[in-house]
Amino acid sequence: MTLAALASPCELAHRDAFLGVERSATGRVWRARLDERGSAIAMAIAQQHGLPELLARVLAGRGVGVDQVESFLDPTVRRLMPDPSVLTAMDAAASRIADAVERKETVAIFGDYDVDGATSAALLALALRRCGLAPIIHIPDRLFEGYGPNVDATRALAGRGATLIVTVDCGTTSREPLEEARRLGLDVVIVDHHQADEALPPAVAIVNPNRRDDLSGLGHLAAVGLTFMTVVAVNRELRRRGFWTVERPEPDLLDDLHLVALGTVADVVPLKGLNRAFVAKGLLALRRREHPGQTALMDVARLAGPPEPWHLGFLLGPRINAGGRIGRADLGVRLLLSDDAVEAAQIAAELDRLNRERQAIEQATLAQAEAEALAALGLEDKGAVVVTASEGWHPGVVGLVAARLKERFSRPAFAIALEPGGIGTGSGRSIPGADLGATVRRAVGEGMLLKGGGHAMAAGVTLRKDALAAFRAFLEDALGDVVAAARRDRALLIDGAVTARGAATELVTTLDRAGPFGAGNPEPLLALPAHALVYAEPVGQVHVRARLRAPDGAIVNAIAFRAVGQVLGNALLQNRGAKLHAAGTLCIDRWNGAERVQLRLVDVALANSGSLGSSR
């Protein structure tokens, strides 16, 4: 948690606006991330560790204390990973999986169809293969099976000889399918991180840090991180039993962190503690390009330069997801497990094609959803939540559409695909402070939804069409106060100010030491004061490219992603030639072998008034 996040809303409201920006293009006030106490900690960090002042401010702004600097700048898995046994039921899970290894049982892995599920399934499959097993992998079809274990798939796995099912990234709320597994004589181990009901389904072990009796404090891990800890526990148990020998040496599990990094970033879990170490070391493994599947994916995504966290979230992850959204659900796992470069290239090309198809479907759906949301909110912009629904929407893109709606309207948002029979399947995305997963589980408990669950920031629902109005009213009542408070106190937190001349490669390299960046460890947000907007034009169909000139004549290139038709894009295109305060993050743009610094814009304001207004 940042020091600014620890301040009360009143303290934030009375803090002076950064550069005097009281209302930016996106309708936000700009604040310095650090208060006086935070600035004092930053100064102490700079002095005691010999770090540049801006880097010290970034560290202090992310809650790093003076005595934590060295470990933060070099996160290691060995130092940060706790004993897996701190997780409730981990010892029972490891023992049962180790039994399956020794008995050479047929193990079935049941995963989710997103990136976290695919990487979790691939990670566990690799571990079992190294033990001499040939696990069955089942990824459910999003359209025909839906999320999580189902009775038909359970019966099919039993028919193929499975005696143990391990669910990854799912299973915590799957009571009926797991009761069927028990009836068929199958054991089940669950490795999951979704919110749990008080009553758990029947299983040998349920490893889930978000179950109510788990005190591990590891609820921020993605399922792939929990799967990694499970594999560590299994290998330890096999070592205790004398399974590993000279002829069959114990594998170095750190070699698999490329999978853990991908799933962790793609699932947008907080990059703090162990998660930062997973991603930092996993990126190093990816840069070695030793894994045919992910190497083929990087090539087809035209990834230039060494992979960074945002590449995983915006280039690699969406392509793996495309298989589960609109194609074959198992394509992602097949790619990640492939050790043949030719096969990997073929699968990666198919995922790339599906991703382009997904993008077209998403854009058409988003246009309809935005129109519905605008009509519902009205000219007065009233309402705590956005709930959109329509027949004909593809269930595979509703989560992405919900995320876009949340970004545009700064509210929790749902997009629901309605089937002709009157049943809707949808996804929701939330804003900080509004726990969507818990709210959805309450709606399930009250009989309003047929199914539902998720995390604080994301949830899935299944409901009848005639329950839409009641569900919308329920959300307004449950989340109205917290959403109103979050929107009222919305501020853009600035880490520091630079000029176009200071925005050099050396600065980017220095700030990158505080990475990897992502959810829970945001990229340093810098302000460029009073720079002239000398160029702004749309690029592609959705982005805006710009150039900013400092008073001394230095120029920096900038880009605003997905800004066309949005308030930020409109502000740029309508204010060419004006002097603006610009806020964004710095990165290295690599193109045709050349490297240059680029500013990824997130907000602007007129320099002479500290305001630019905003409109939907």
Average pLDDT of span 186-204: 95
Average pLDDT of span 575-592: 93
Instruction: DSSP letter for 305, please.
Output: S
Would you say 453 and 438 are in contact if contact means Cβ atoms under 8 Å apart? no
Say what the pLDDT of residue 251 is. 95
Measured distance CA(281)–CA(294) in Å, rounded: 15
What is the DSSP annotation of 221-236? S-HHHHHHHHHHHHHH
Q: Pick the more confident residue, 107 or 562.
A: 107
**412 and 472: one domain?**
yes
Instruction: Look at residue 304 and tell me if it is in a domain.
Output: no
Beta-carbon contacts of 567 under 8 Å, excluding residues fewer than 6 positions away, are 25, 26, 27, 614, 615, 616
**382 and 509: one domain?**
no
Average pLDDT of span 62-72: 95
> What are residue 36's DSSP bridge partners?
none
Say what the pLDDT of residue 472 is. 96
Name the 3-class secondary structure at 94: helix
Q: Is the pLDDT of residue 9 over 50?
A: no
Average pLDDT of span 430-452: 92
Q: What CATH code is carried by the domain that includes residue 127? A: 3.90.1640.30
Domain boundary among 489, 520, 549: 489
82-to-86, 161, 346 alpha-carbon distances in Å: 7, 35, 39
**454 and 580: one domain?**
no
Q: What CATH code is carried by the domain that includes residue 540? A: 2.40.50.460
Domain boundary among 469, 489, 509: 489
Q: Is the pLDDT of residue 226 over 60?
A: yes
**504 and 442: one domain?**
no
Instruction: Look at residue 285 and tell me if it is in a domain.
Output: no
Measured distance CA(391)–CA(415) in Å, rounded: 11
pLDDT-based confidence at 612, cuts 50/70/90? low
Average pLDDT of span 100-105: 98
> What are residue 558's DSSP bridge partners?
546, 599
Would you say 173 and 131 are in contact if contact means Cβ atoms under 8 Å apart? no
- Residues 37-49: tens digit of each pLDDT: 999 999 999 999 9
User: Measured in Å, how far apart are the chain's first and last C-alpha atoms?
Assistant: 31
Say what the pLDDT of residue 488 is. 80
Nearest residue to 61 via CA among 6, 10, 9: 6
The single residue listed with the structure tokens 């240059």 is 596
Measured distance CA(141)–CA(138) in Å, rounded: 9
Would you say 464 and 489 are in contact if contact means Cβ atoms under 8 Å apart? no
Would you say 336 and 118 are in contact if contact means Cβ atoms under 8 Å apart? yes
Instruction: Look at residue 395 and tell me if it is in a domain.
Output: yes
Name the 3-class secondary structure at 202: coil
Measured distance CA(203)–CA(525) in Å, rounded: 46
Would you say 197 and 173 are in contact if contact means Cβ atoms under 8 Å apart? yes
Dihedral (C-alpha) 162, 166, 168, 173: value to the nearest 10 degrees?
A: 100
Helices (H) then strands (E): counts for the chain: 22, 18
Largest distance between two CA atoms of the chain? 76
Would you say 143 and 169 are in contact if contact means Cβ atoms under 8 Å apart? no
Average pLDDT of span 194-205: 93
Instruction: Look at residue 442 and tell me if it is in a domain.
Output: yes
Say what the pLDDT of residue 12 is. 40
Instruction: Name the domain count of the chain.
Output: 3
Q: Is the pLDDT of residue 3 over 60?
A: no
Instruction: Look at residue 313 and tell me if it is in a domain.
Output: no
Average pLDDT of span 273-292: 95
Pairing of strands 491-494, 29-32: parallel
Average pLDDT of span 65-75: 95
**598 and 572: one domain?**
yes
Pairing of strands 187-191, 386-391: unpaired
Would you say 174 and 149 are in contact if contact means Cβ atoms under 8 Å apart? yes
- Residues 135-179: tens digit of each pLDDT: 999 999 988 888 889 999 999 999 999 999 999 999 999 999 999
**428 and 569: one domain?**
no
Say what the pLDDT of residue 420 is. 87
pLDDT-based confidence at 487, cuts 50/70/90? confident
**155 and 229: one domain?**
yes
Say what the pLDDT of residue 1 is. 27
- Find the DSSP H helices in 241-385: 257-266, 274-287, 292-300, 309-311, 317-326, 331-337, 341-377
C-beta atoms surrounding 578 within 10 Å: 17
Measured distance CA(429)–CA(392) in Å, rounded: 21
**474 and 520: one domain?**
no
182-to-167, 175, 201, 454, 485 alpha-carbon distances in Å: 14, 11, 10, 25, 47
Would you say 480 and 446 are in contact if contact means Cβ atoms under 8 Å apart? no
* Residue at 434: amino acid letter: A
Calculate what percentage of the chain has a pLDDT beyond 70: 96
- Residues 519-562: tens digit of each pLDDT: 889 999 999 999 999 999 999 888 999 999 999 999 999 999 99
> What are residue 493's DSSP bridge partners?
31
Instruction: Look at residue 407 and tell me if it is in a domain.
Output: yes
Instruction: Look at residue 349 and tell me if it is in a domain.
Output: no
Measured distance CA(230)–CA(185) in Å, rounded: 23
Say what the pLDDT of residue 324 is. 87
pLDDT-based confidence at 613, cuts 50/70/90? low
Based on the number of CB atoms within 10 Å of its own CB, is 512 exposed (0-12), middle (13-18) or buried (19 or more)? middle
Would you say 207 and 230 are in contact if contact means Cβ atoms under 8 Å apart? yes
Angle at which helices 341-377 and 317-326 cross, to 10°: 80
**485 and 502: one domain?**
no
- Residues 426-438: tens digit of each pLDDT: 999 999 889 999 9
**444 and 499: one domain?**
no
> What are residue 567's DSSP bridge partners?
none
Would you say 221 and 193 are in contact if contact means Cβ atoms under 8 Å apart? yes
Phi, psi (5° rounding) for residue 245? -135, 180
**484 and 555: one domain?**
no
Compute the mean pLDDT over every residue in the chain, rounded to the nearest whole number. 93
pLDDT-based confidence at 16, cuts 50/70/90? confident
Say what the pLDDT of residue 10 is. 36
Average pLDDT of span 437-464: 92
Domain boundary among 196, 220, 253: 253
- Residues 342-369: tens digit of each pLDDT: 999 999 999 999 999 999 999 999 999 9
Instruction: Look at residue 310 and tell me if it is in a domain.
Output: no
> Residue 512's domain spans which residues?
4-61+495-606
Q: Is the pLDDT of residue 7 over 50?
A: no
Calculate what percentage of the chain has a pLDDT beyond 90: 85
**435 and 480: one domain?**
yes
Q: H/E element holding 443?
A: helix 436-445
pLDDT-based confidence at 14, cuts 50/70/90? very low
> What are residue 31's DSSP bridge partners?
17, 493
* Residue at 159: amino acid letter: G
Q: Pick the more confident residue, 593 or 370.
A: 370
* Residue at 576: amino acid letter: R
